[in-house]
Amino acid sequence: MNIDKLVFRVAGIMVTAGVVLAYSHHIAWLVLPLFVGLNMFQASFSGFCPMATIAKRFGMTEGKAF
């Protein structure tokens, strides 16, 4: 697995978890998918992704996006 797949997989899990938690527990959990979405939006302009930086430090192979 490369960094690109990891970033998209983690983002998908976090968004899904936030929506499920908002539906089942409290609407304030929608802050989690909002944070993930805003982070992906800023990464599309700046190229900086905290998850990709962490994955690089753990020695994962780079993909084409990060």
Q: Report the predicted TM-score, pTM, of the whole model to 2 decimal places.
A: 0.82
Token digits for 45?
Answer: 């302009």
Q: 25: helix, coil or strand? A: coil
Domain boundaries, the chain: 3-57
8 Å CB contact between 3 and 63 = yes
**Helix extents (H) in 1-66:** 3-24, 31-46, 50-57
Residue 58 burial (CB < 10 Å; 0-12/13-18/19+)? exposed
> What pLDDT digit, counting tens, does each position of 11-64 carry?
999 999 999 999 999 999 999 999 999 999 999 899 899 998 999 999 888 877
